[in-house]
């Protein structure tokens, strides 16, 4: 960035011969020219053939750097010093800068393009109030599965990828370290904080993602890194604004268009988000705001806005494309806007700069030495974009809201931090809080669903996936009825269901399917682990006896809230005295339940045993059927049964004769 007209512009870099031929007599040169400012949809540069050219096209050949002979694959460093006065720049603004290698005849062999922001000392543009949001999110890694031991409960992770991300040099660690020195607003996914805490306290890693047996796991290795990362994050957010996103950062657009599936999950998300704010406040020692909605791509329509309100959210981060002010103006992509728009009675749309957002989303500069050129190019582009935004209305107070991508790379984070710092030092950027940008909103309207971007719609979570999560929630309610400690299991499973709805699954449909199916398999395995053990034949000797039925409890906690019921196919021969027998079984054991029966006659009887939930009497699992062989029932009892059958037959014959007598015998005469 240039600030003094009497200084020098120093350029350094490396030329690499990627051709198959030796290059001789080549020179490195520079050209500058006005960038295509316009709408800021793209700053175009044009290549030249001369060694160094001023903005007016005059050649300056003596400011070139002669390169030695370059064989194929060779690399040579260069360094150029150019007096700023020779560039004849036209005052504050963003200028295109091209460094190229040319032969003696002027033919360009290669070039690199960047931007040169110029803001001379004494320039009195109105600083752009800049609110930078700093997202701390990642793809979900923790499963619903836990490993319970007598002294602990260890969560199970589908992989150990967070260990590297939290460690020194990892993306999340570098993201926190870079943001710690900046006046930014932190946007934190509570689930990521919860996962870090779980890792720090001790966790397991599944041998296969989505496995249902907690014994098939290994000890996680990222506990120390997670604890250090949490401590670093707590230090970084001290004194800063913190936003707790809805738990696991749910995909609001997918949920809003999922019909009954999205409606059924609204309650789950509201409860999860309240718990998520508590997690962020407790772990980071802050009072986070928890009313901000962040739809994918910042695209908002009336349905998304309505769903956000259902979740209790009051501010939505919007790209501006489709948000219409009371004046009738449409906020188009790429335009810098100063302020917010009210949408109905409770929701406010806070528009952000889509050009900068798309730059950060497309850029993936590395973190090491190899990534430095990419980071430098991104930093220069960000400086050029923000300075161009200032020049749009140089003397009017305006706001700029920067919303990076959810999984911003460490290199992009550093480039953004450097750009904001340089613009702040020069004087055209002024750090601001998010609430300042949202002050004095104008009335606004949203587009309808037909204007939603096609590309974003294609990456939404399918409606059948959301319906499956809603079914899993109902199944969890059933499972909770039979657990001695339903709270812990419900919390773990509900958190996993919220993760299955995360916006981070966009672009990874296979990962989304795998995670959601893992949650469903966990519930199925838990429900199926409480079952009756099949049996074949039992013998009943005498008029009364007890029949043993074995209940297998494969859960990791005690079984309660369930009862056993036995029915007979021949109750006149054998019936159950106990209508329902309560079942209690310790974790991971089988329990034999004895059901009292009463025999009336000898012979085989088919019995059906089935478990039911005590709370509502609904069937649980599959029934079992077996044979009871009744033997040695006293003859008196048999005679009583036979006599009873005879009396019933006589009574029926007597009633039939009386009926015929009343009818005069006509119907039966002709027969």
Confidence at residue 181, expressed as pLDDT on a 0 to 100 scale: 84
> Are 402 and 183 spatial neighbours (Cβ–Cβ below 8 Å)?
no
* Residue 150, in any domain of the structure: no
Cβ count within 10 A of residue 128: 24
> Are 207 and 214 spatial neighbours (Cβ–Cβ below 8 Å)?
no
State the total domains in the chain.
Answer: 4
Out of 507, 530, 553, pick the residue that ends a domain: 530
The phi and psi torsions of 23 (rounded to 5 degrees) equal -110, 125
pTM above 0.95, yes or no: no
Confidence at residue 372, expressed as pLDDT on a 0 to 100 scale: 63
User: Please, where are the H alpha helices in 238-291?
Assistant: 252-256, 260-284
Consecutive H or E run containing 434: helix 434-437
Residue 314's domain comprises 129-144+171-190+223-452
Q: Are residues 384 and 503 in the same domain?
A: no
Q: Are residues 268 and 319 in the same domain?
A: yes
> Are 371 and 412 spatial neighbours (Cβ–Cβ below 8 Å)?
no
Write the CA distances from 394 to 32, 86, 125, 273, 544, integer angstroms: 23, 26, 5, 41, 98
Q: Give the model confidence (pLDDT) of 233-286 as tens digits.
A: 999 999 999 999 999 999 999 999 888 888 899 999 999 999 999 999 999 999
Q: What does the angle CA 34 – CA 38 – CA 39 come to, to the nearest 5 degrees? A: 140
User: Please, where are the H alpha helices in 18-150?
Assistant: 84-87
* Phi/psi-derived region of residue 334, left when phi > 0, alpha when psi is between -120 and 50, beta in every other case: left
Tokens 């699954």, located at residue: 505
Q: Are residues 414 and 542 in the same domain?
A: no
Q: Are residues 364 and 479 in the same domain?
A: no
DSSP 313: -
User: Please, where are the H alpha helices in 311-394?
Assistant: 354-362, 372-392
The phi and psi torsions of 239 (rounded to 5 degrees) equal 80, 0
Cβ count within 10 A of residue 29: 27
Confidence at residue 211, expressed as pLDDT on a 0 to 100 scale: 86
Q: Are residues 340 and 418 in the same domain?
A: yes
Q: Are residues 329 and 232 in the same domain?
A: yes
Strand, helix or coil for residue 262: helix
Pair of tokens at residue 19: 């051709």
Pair of tokens at residue 222: 């990222």
Low-confidence residues in the chain, pLDDT < 50: 36-62, 328-335, 367-370, 636-671
Shortest CA distance to 186 belongs to which of 236, 128, 251, 246?
236
> Are 156 and 147 spatial neighbours (Cβ–Cβ below 8 Å)?
yes
* Residue 318, in any domain of the structure: yes
Confidence at residue 43, expressed as pLDDT on a 0 to 100 scale: 28
User: Please, where are the H alpha helices in 500-547?
Assistant: 509-528
Q: Are residues 562 and 508 in the same domain?
A: no
Q: Are residues 320 and 427 in the same domain?
A: yes
Confidence at residue 96, expressed as pLDDT on a 0 to 100 scale: 86
């Amino acid at each position: 960035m240039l600030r003094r007209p009497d200084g020098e512009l120093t350029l350094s870099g490396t030329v690499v011969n990627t051709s198959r031929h030796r290059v001789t007599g080549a020179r490195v040169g520079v050209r500058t020219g006005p960038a295509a400012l316009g709408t800021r949809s793209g700053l175009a540069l044009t290549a030249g053939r001369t060694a160094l050219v001023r903005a007016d096209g005059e050649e300056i050949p003596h400011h070139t750097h002669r390169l030695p002979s370059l064989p194929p694959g060779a690399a040579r460093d260069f360094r150029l010093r150019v007096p700023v006065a020779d560039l004849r720049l036209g005052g504050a603004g963003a200028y295109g800068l091209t460094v190229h290698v040319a032969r003696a005849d002027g033919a360009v062999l290669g070039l690199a393009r960047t931007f040169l922001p110029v803001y001379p000392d004494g320039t009195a543009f109105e600083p752009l109030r800049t609110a930078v949001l700093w997202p701390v999110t990642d793809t979900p890694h923790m499963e619903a599965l836990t490993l319970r031991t007598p002294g602990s409960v260890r969560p199970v992770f589908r992989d150990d990828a967070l260990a590297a991300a939290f460690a020194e040099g990892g993306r999340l660690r570098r993201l926190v370290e870079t943001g710690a020195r900046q006046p930014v607003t932190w946007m934190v996914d509570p689930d990521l904080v919860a996962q870090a805490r779980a890792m720090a306290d001790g966790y397991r890693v599944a041998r296969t993602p989505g496995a249902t047996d907690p014994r098939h796991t290994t000890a996680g290795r990222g506990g120390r890194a997670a604890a250090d990362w949490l401590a670093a994050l707590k230090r970084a957010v001290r004194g800063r604004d913190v936003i707790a996103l809805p738990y696991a950062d749910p995909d609001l657009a997918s949920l809003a268009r999922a019909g009954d599936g999205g409606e059924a999950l609204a309650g789950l998300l509201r409860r999860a988000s309240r718990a998520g704010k508590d997690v962020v406040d407790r772990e980071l020692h802050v009072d986070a705001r928890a009313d901000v909605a962040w739809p994918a791509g910042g695209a908002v329509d009336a349905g998304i806005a309505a769903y956000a309100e259902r979740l209790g959210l009051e501010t939505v981060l919007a790209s501006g494309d489709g948000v219409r002010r009371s004046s009738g103006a449409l906020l188009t992509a790429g335009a810098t806007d100063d302020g917010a728009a009210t949408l109905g009675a409770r929701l406010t749309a806070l528009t952000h700069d889509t050009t900068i957002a798309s730059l950060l989303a497309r850029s993936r500069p590395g973190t090491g030495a190899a990534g430095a050129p990419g980071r430098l190019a991104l930093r220069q582009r960000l400086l050029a974009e923000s300075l161009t935004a200032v020049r749009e209305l140089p003397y009017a107070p305006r706001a700029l809201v920067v919303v990076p991508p959810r999984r911003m790379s460490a290199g992009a984070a550093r480039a953004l931090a450097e750009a904001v710092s340089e613009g702040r030092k020069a004087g055209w950027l002024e750090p601001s809080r998010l609430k300042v940008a949202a002050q004095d909103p104008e009335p606004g309207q949203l587009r309808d669903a037909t204007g939603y971007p096609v590309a974003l719609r294609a990456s939404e979570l399918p409606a059948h996936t959301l319906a499956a999560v809603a079914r899993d929630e109902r199944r969890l309610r059933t499972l909770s009825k039979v657990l001695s400690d339903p709270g812990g299991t419900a919390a773990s499973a509900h958190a996993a269901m919220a993760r299955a709805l995360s916006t981070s699954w966009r672009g990874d449909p296979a990962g989304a399917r795998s995670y959601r199916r893992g949650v469903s398999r966990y519930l199925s395995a838990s429900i199926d682990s409480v079952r009756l053990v099949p049996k074949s034949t039992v013998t009943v000797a005498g008029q009364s006896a007890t029949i043993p039925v074995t209940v297998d409890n494969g859960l990791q906690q005690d079984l309660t809230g369930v009862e056993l019921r036995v029915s007979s196919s021949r109750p006149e021969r054998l019936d159950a005295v106990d209508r329902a027998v309560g079942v209690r079984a310790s974790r991971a054991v089988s329990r034999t339940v004895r059901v009292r029966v009463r025999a009336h006659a000898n012979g085989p009887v088919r019995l059906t045993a089935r478990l039911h939930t005590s709370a509502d009497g609904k069937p649980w699992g599959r029934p079992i059927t077996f044979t009871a062989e009744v033997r040695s029932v006293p003859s008196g009892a048999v005679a009583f049964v036979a006599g009873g059958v005879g009396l019933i037959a006589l009574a029926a014959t007597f009633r039939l004769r009386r009926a015929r007598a009343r009818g005069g015998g006509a119907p039966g005469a002709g027969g």
